[in-house]
C-alpha cells in the first residue's frame, strides 16, 4: 500500500470507530496514530484496517480494531498510568495503550510471539512498552501496583495474582468465559460490569482450576 492509501484507510477506520460508539478522543487519536499494518504479515497488510481479527500465527489473532478501541476506552486512561497487559500478541494493543500515554508492561506466554512483538513495536517506532515472555496469569509483581490491567485472553475468572496487582481504585478489563467465548468485563473496586460478548484465546499459565 502507498502511504496515501494507508492514511485513507486508517482515517476511515477511525471514523467507523466513532460511528460505532467510541467517543474517547484520546483513544481515537491513538488509533489514528498507530500503524496497524506494522503488526500483521505483509500478506495481510491490505486488510489491516478492516474491522476484523487477523491471524498472527500460533492459533492467535490480532483483535479487530473496534475490540481494541473498546477495551482501551473502558480503561478510561488520562495519561501517565502504568498498565499491565496480559497477552501481547504482536503488540498492537500495547502500542495503542502507549499512544494513549500509558507506560505498558505486556506479558506474552508464547516466546516466539514475544520476540515478534518486540520487533513489530520497534518497526512502528513505539516506545513505552516492555514486552515480557512469561506467565500472564502471574502478572508482573515487580512492577505493581498498576492503575489499569488489560487482559486479552479468556478464563473462568480473573487470576488472583493479577487482581492483587491492581491499585485499590484501579481498573481491569478482560473477558470472562469458557474456551474462546466470553463476555468482556470491566472491574473496578470489586464491581463488575459486562460490556458485551467477545472471542479471545484461552488464558494459559498458572490459572486456578
> Counting Cβ atoms within 10 Å, is residue 164 exposed (0-12), middle (13-18) or buried (19+)?
exposed
Asked if residue 119 has a cis previous peptide bond (ω within 30° of 0), the answer is: no
Burial code (b: 16+ CB inside 10 Å, e: under 16) for 21-37 equals: ebebebbbebbebbbbb
Catalytic residue among 11, 41, 42, 63: 63
Q: Among this protein's residues, is 63 annotated catalytic?
A: yes
- In the numeric block, the cell 502504568 is attached to 82
Place of cell 506474552: 108
Q: How many CB atoms lie within 10 A of CB 128?
A: 15
CB atoms within 10 A of CB 2: 7
Strand, coil or helix: 30: helix
Q: Among all residues, which ones are annotated catalytic? A: 63
Amino acid at each position: 500500500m502507498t502511504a496515501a492509501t494507508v492514511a485513507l484507510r486508517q482515517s476511515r477506520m477511525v471514523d467507523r470507530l466513532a460511528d460505532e460508539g467510541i467517543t474517547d478522543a484520546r483513544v481515537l487519536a491513538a488509533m489514528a496514530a498507530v500503524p496497524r499494518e506494522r503488526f500483521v504479515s505483509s500478506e495481510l497488510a491490505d486488510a489491516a484496517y478492516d474491522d476484523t481479527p487477523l491471524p498472527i500465527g500460533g492459533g492467535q489473532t490480532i483483535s479487530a480494531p473496534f475490540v481494541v478501541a473498546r477495551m482501551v476506552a473502558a480503561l478510561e486512561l488520562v495519561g501517565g498510568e502504568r498498565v499491565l497487559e496480559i497477552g501481547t500478541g504482536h503488540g498492537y494493543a500495547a502500542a495503542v495503550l502507549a499512544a494513549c500515554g500509558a507506560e505498558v508492561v505486556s506479558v506474552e506466554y508464547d516466546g516466539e510471539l514475544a520476540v515478534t512483538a518486540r520487533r513489530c513495536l520497534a518497526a512502528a517506532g513505539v516506545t513505552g512498552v516492555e514486552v515480557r515472555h512469561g506467565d500472564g496469569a502471574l502478572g508482573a509483581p515487580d512492577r505493581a501496583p498498576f492503575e489499569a490491567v488489560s487482559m486479552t485472553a479468556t478464563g473462568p475468572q480473573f487470576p488472583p495474582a493479577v487482581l492483587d496487582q491492581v491499585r485499590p481504585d484501579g481498573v481491569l478489563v478482560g473477558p470472562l468465559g469458557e474456551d474462546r467465548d466470553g463476555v468482556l468485563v470491566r472491574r473496578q473496586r470489586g464491581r463488575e460490569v459486562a460490556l458485551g460478548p467477545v472471542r479471545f484465546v484461552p488464558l494459559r499459565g498458572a490459572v486456578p482450576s
